Amino acid sequence: MTDECITRNFSLLNRSNSGGSSNGQTKSNRSSIIDNTDAKGCMEGSSGGATGTGSGVPSSINKYVARMPVDRYASEYNMNHKYRGQAIIFNHEFFDIPSLKSRAGTNVDAEELRKALKSLGFDVSVHKDCKLRDILKYIDKAASLDHTDNDCIAIAILSHGEHGYIYAKDVQYKLDAIWHYFTAHICPTLAGKPKLFFIQACQGDRLDAGVMLEKNGVTETDGESSMSYKIPIHADFLFSYSTIPGYFSWRNTTNGSWYMQSLIQELNTNGKKYDILTLLTFVSQRVAIDFESNVPSTPLMDRQKQIPCVTSMLTRILRFTDKPSGNKAG
């Protein structure tokens, strides 16, 4: 046996948008073309390295089927379901952990974010100072709902954090503990729909001092394509972090965090105008340019900068277009 795998490439002939095979290659249904994976592990042993504990997914998973929320080659997500969908805000101000100070300003963030998401049509719930078991209870409940008539889901977490971890009221946890509830095989009514995460929390204790810049000079949705299609279970997630891994995330005790202030302002100003990745690019611009810490008494903390970080597994353009009135909440 070899580690080399055969690709089905089953649909290349049927692709209709974006101009098809423009680079001169002719595509066809190839049933015997050799594939590899680019993993060290895949190259060893008789089973191609994928039978170890790392693979994690039994072949029986191939049976999973979900309803198609949008045509196969649509360039935009379908945001025309009856409802926009659920938005859940986990707002953390006070902690049981002695080393964690209360997060003054977070209630401004939570309230402004609630209003911004509501005006985009979300059915918003806010949960204050939850212990991890309660967070998981709400997440499990949300993942168990029928989202058939909803466009998407949004989860926001406002808390303390450090590298790789976020704090609940009582313990720290990894974001993985939450977002895996919404993978397409576990939550099929959200399969093929955007799953949005907004995280306001530190990802470490490093500081970004910045660089001064000085002046010097100066698809539309496809028509019909009724074939069934298969998507990766991890597709259609988006994670918007307030800061990059390893770094501080700043919060103003009166106005809320730099990131949440910026996110809320962009959602309110351009939320229905631009797609989400453009919106979040402008959020990054606001945070990166408009804010700077001022702690002259602590030189190491003084005049520091922050850059948010977006990680996207989205497969289509996402735009919060208007809904008919009366269908504002899901």
Site for a copy of itself in 74-133 (CB under 8 A): 75, 78, 97, 99-101, 103-105, 112, 115-116
The CA-atom distances, in angstroms, between 194 and each of 98, 142, 226, 302 are 37, 15, 21, 38
For a copy of itself, the closer CB: 1 or 325:
1
Q: Does 66 bind a copy of itself (CB under 8 A)?
A: yes
**Quick one: which of 146, 220, 228, 326 contacts a copy of itself (CB under 8 A)?**
228
The CA-atom distances, in angstroms, between 89 and each of 107, 114, 199, 245 are 11, 8, 10, 22
- Contact pattern from residue 150 through residue 169 relative to a copy of itself, giving x for each residue in contact according to CB under 8 A and a dash for the rest: ---------xxxx----x--
Q: Minimum Å distance from CB 150 to a copy of itself?
A: 14
Give the alpha-carbon dihedral of 40, 46, 47, 52, to 10 degrees.
-70
What are the residues whose beta carbons fall under 8 Å from the beta carbon of 197, sequence distance 6 or more? 154, 155, 156, 157, 175, 178, 179, 237, 238, 239, 240
**Quick one: which of 86, 91, 150, 242 contacts a copy of itself (CB under 8 A)?**
242
Q: Which residue in 130, 152, 160, 187 is the catalytic one? A: 160
Give the whole-angstrom CA distance, residue 264 versus residue 290.
14
Pairing of strands 195-200, 172-173: unpaired
**Please, which of residues 293-312 interact with a copy of itself by CB under 8 A?**
293-303, 305-312
**Quick one: which of 16, 39, 94, 171 contacts a copy of itself (CB under 8 A)?**
39
- Contact pattern from residue 178 through residue 217 relative to a copy of itself, giving x for each residue in contact according to CB under 8 A and a dash for the rest: ------xx--x--xx-------xxx-xxxxxxxxxxxxx-
Whether 160 is catalytic: yes
Both tokens of 301, joined, read 């903390």
What are the residues whose beta carbons fall under 8 Å from the beta carbon of 309, sequence distance 6 or more? 240, 241, 243, 244, 245
**Please, which of residues 243-272 interact with a copy of itself by CB under 8 A?**
244, 246-255, 257-258, 264-266, 268-270
Whether 202 is catalytic: yes
For a copy of itself, the closer CB: 154 or 157:
157
The number of residues that bind a copy of itself (CB under 8 A) is 164
**Cβ atoms of residues 180 and 105 within 8 Å:** no
For a copy of itself, the closer CB: 44 or 137:
44
**Please, which of residues 14-33 interact with a copy of itself by CB under 8 A?**
15, 18-23, 25, 31, 33
Task: Give, as one character, the DSSP assignment of residue 256.
Answer: E
**Quick one: which of 118, 127, 128, 234 contacts a copy of itself (CB under 8 A)?**
234
